[in-house]
Structures are given as C-alpha cells and as structure tokens.
A = this chain, B = another copy of it.
C-alpha cells in the first residue's frame, strides 16, 4: 500500500499548479469579459484568451494529459486523475486550456481506440490539436438514458450511406459553431441481441437534415461558456457508410468503454471544485466579521469546514482507487468502484458547495462568485449516465449477489 503519487504525477502536478497560479486564475475574469462580448453567444471556442492559454499549456507540456497511449501524454488513469482534480478548480477554463475538457476527451478516446486511420486523420488530429470541438450524441428526450439499450434514434444503411432519424438532447458542447463533429449513437438493428443493436457514427455539423433545435438550460445557465447543451433533430440525415465507428453493433461496447475514464475525470474535477469551494469558504469566513468576530470562529462554520475536508479526503481516495483498479484489473472489474464514485461524489460536493454559498451570503448565489454555477454543474452529475438511484440499485444488486455467493 502506497498513498503517495509517483514521481511523474508529482512533476505534472507541480507544473500544472504553477500554470493554474500564473495563467488560469488570472484569466478567469478575462474569459468572462471576452465571453460577454461575443457576437455569437455560443462561440466560446474563439475567445482570444483561450487561444493564449492553450498555447501556453502546450509550451509547458500540459496538453492532452488525459489520453493514454501514443496519441496523448501516455499517463495512466491513476496518474491523470490528480491532474483532472486540479483542472476542476477552474472548471470553465482549465480543462479547455489543456484540451482535456469533456466531451472531447471521451470522443478522442473513442476515435483513438476504435476509429480507423482515415477517421483519425480527419477528426482525431484536429481534436488533438484543439482546432475543433466535438459532441457525443447519446441521450434522448423520450427514453430513460440510464440504459443505453433504450436508444431509439435509427441508423439505416442505404447503399454507401447511412440514413439517420431521431432526436437527442443534452448534447453538451453542440451549440458551439466550432463543434464540427458529432459522434452519434443509434440503432442499426433493433432485432439484434440487446447489446448489439447499437452503433456509433460520425456526423459532421453541417450535414443537411441535422438541426440544432435549442440550448437546454441548467438552472438559469445555458452553459455557453463551454458550448451549451443542445437539443438536436435528425431528419433523413445522410452520411457516408465510412463514418461508422467500428462495426455495426459495436455501439454499446464502445459506449461502455467510454464510461469508466469519463467518470474518473468528472469525479476528480468535482473534487477540484470542492477544494475551490472550501478554499473560498475559508477565505470568506476569515475575512468576514459578524457579531464581533470572524465567521470562521463560529462553531457551525467550523463544522462545515471540517466535514468538507473529511468528505473531500474520502472522495479523493475512493476515486483514485477506482482509477488504479481500472489501470490494474480493467474497467469491468472496477465496476463497483466506478459506480461508487458516481454515487458518492456529486452529492457530497453539492453539500460542500452549498455550504460555501451559505458562508458567502446572498452574493454566493450570484454572478459575483463562481459558486452557484459550480453548484448547478455538480447537480447535473446526479443524472449523468442515469440518475444516482439507478446506480445505487445496481450496486446493491451486485453486493447482494456477491454476499449470496460467499454464503455458498
């Protein structure tokens, strides 16, 4: 047992922490100001300060850290996880600056792992270079998205093309005009085995018949700072057959493979958010005097701070262990742990951010601090890949089965 990060990770952490201090945090108000001046509200990716940060991140070797293998930095999940956490401290800016923002990360993984050479050249390369953005179109409005087998969008082969019909929503990033490519999940064969009906196919933004209907809002936020969440309508959308990723029927398996790392990234960034919120809570309560003493000397505030610290430590260890398991025994055997971090992290971080808000007074809910927007973002994770309740149910079922087996 060894709880220290290895030397590689420590080196990256130091580099990244410096980058955060010297570039990311100072850029936050700049980014906000430049966003506000955009002609196209959704064109976040063209904001000047972002280009500068990306250039600086590349210069410092802080680029594509999330991606294992030859295409990326080659880090393991356990090595990247602590870096994802750090980027979570500035969730709007840092992941994007490092080209480590969802959903591009998962999409690059899919293309790196399952895309053919032509697909990689055409879409993976510009994504790796941060030249374009991508979206992952899986969730649908009328079915429970907690189960990928419920997908209804149809992908029908017609000669050298596939014809796509259906609806998607909550497609993160897709409102951005620079989001050039969508990985779309649909059914190629509704009569096949339950997990072989789905396929994934690449659809370019400008393909006729693909309509970006509107941006979904979360609380009042449209999240234009990272491309929003689009509702999409596909009406007889035709793409070359060569746009299929892998073979027909591979969709479910590819989606499953995409899940594990994504959860690690989300949870670690969430923990970074929690650290930022705790830091802000400490600072605010140290500075703010009420009833003759700093808020930080109030017992109830102390209680919040202590609980926050303890929760963060536990969440981090759980997530790191899940990452380590993925590295050592594979996603499938890390299944319980990957579910566990999804169950534990968003709820706990929501609590921490809520307390930080409360410590800030009404201002904590406003645009003057990043806390409310963080809270909204974390709240959505209780639905990501299905609501918490579905994950708890599945984890319990597995626990019951394991216990039954143990009793013999």
Query: Chain B contacts of A279 at CB under 8 A?
Result: 403
- In contact, A282 and B399 (Cβ under 8 angstroms): yes
- In contact, B317 and A282 (Cβ under 8 angstroms): no
Q: Does A34 lie at the interface of the complex (its beta carbon under 8 Å from any beta carbon of B)?
A: no
Whole-angstrom CA separation of A216 from B147 in the bound complex = 40
Q: Does A117 lie at the interface of the complex (its beta carbon under 8 Å from any beta carbon of B)?
A: no
Q: Does A336 lie at the interface of the complex (its beta carbon under 8 Å from any beta carbon of B)?
A: yes
Interface-facing stretch out of A43-51, A122-130, A200-208, A388-396: A388-396
Query: Chain B contacts of A296 at CB under 8 A?
Result: 400
Q: Chain A contact residues (Cβ within 8 angstroms of B): what range?
A: 35 or more
Q: Does A397 lie at the interface of the complex (its beta carbon under 8 Å from any beta carbon of B)?
A: yes
Q: Does A256 lie at the interface of the complex (its beta carbon under 8 Å from any beta carbon of B)?
A: no
Given known contacts A1-B6, A298-B389, is B290 in contact with A343 (CB within 8 Å)? no
Scoring A residues 290 to 320 as 1 if CB is less than 8 Å from chain B, else 0, what string do you get? Answer: 1100001011111111110110011101101
Whole-angstrom CA separation of A399 from B312 in the bound complex = 12
Shortest CB-to-CB span from A66 to chain B, Å, is 17
Within 8 A of B (CB), among A1-37: 1-6, 9
Within 8 A of B (CB), among A357-390: 358, 361-363, 365-367, 372-373, 375-376, 379-380, 382-383, 387-389
A-B residue pairs in contact (CB < 8 Å), sample of 18: A2-B324, A3-B324, A217-B367, A219-B373, A286-B400, A298-B299, A299-B300, A299-B302, A303-B392, A305-B395, A306-B392, A306-B396, A314-B317, A314-B344, A317-B317, A317-B318, A361-B383, A362-B383
- In contact, A219 and B404 (Cβ under 8 angstroms): no
Scoring A residues 223 to 243 as 1 if CB is less than 8 Å from chain B, else 0, what string do you get? Answer: 000000000000000000000
Shortest CB-to-CB span from A400 to chain B, Å, is 5
Query: Chain B contacts of A299 at CB under 8 A?
Result: 298-303, 389, 393
- In contact, B366 and A217 (Cβ under 8 angstroms): yes
List the B residue with the shortest CB-CB distance to A304: B396
Query: Chain B contacts of A301 at CB under 8 A?
Result: 299, 396
Whole-angstrom CA separation of A393 from B399 in the bound complex = 24
Q: Does A321 lie at the interface of the complex (its beta carbon under 8 Å from any beta carbon of B)?
A: yes
List the B residue with the shortest CB-CB distance to A218: B365
List the B residue with the shortest CB-CB distance to A320: B1
Scoring A residues 249 to 280 as 1 if CB is less than 8 Å from chain B, else 0, what string do you get? Answer: 00000000000000000000000000000110
Whole-angstrom CA separation of A354 from B299 in the bound complex = 19
Scoring A residues 186 to 217 as 1 if CB is less than 8 Å from chain B, else 0, what string do you get? Answer: 00000000000000000000000000000011
List the B residue with the shortest CB-CB distance to A379: B365
Given known contacts A303-B300, A395-B306, is B220 in contact with A217 (CB within 8 Å)? yes
Given known contacts A4-B1, A372-B219, is B361 in contact with A400 (CB within 8 Å)? no
- Kindly name the residue among A1, A5, A318, A361 whose own CB sees the greatest number of chain B CB atoms within 10 A: A1
Q: Does A340 lie at the interface of the complex (its beta carbon under 8 Å from any beta carbon of B)?
A: yes
- In contact, A218 and B372 (Cβ under 8 angstroms): yes
- In contact, A321 and B317 (Cβ under 8 angstroms): yes
Q: Does A144 lie at the interface of the complex (its beta carbon under 8 Å from any beta carbon of B)?
A: yes
Whole-angstrom CA separation of A139 from B363 in the bound complex = 11
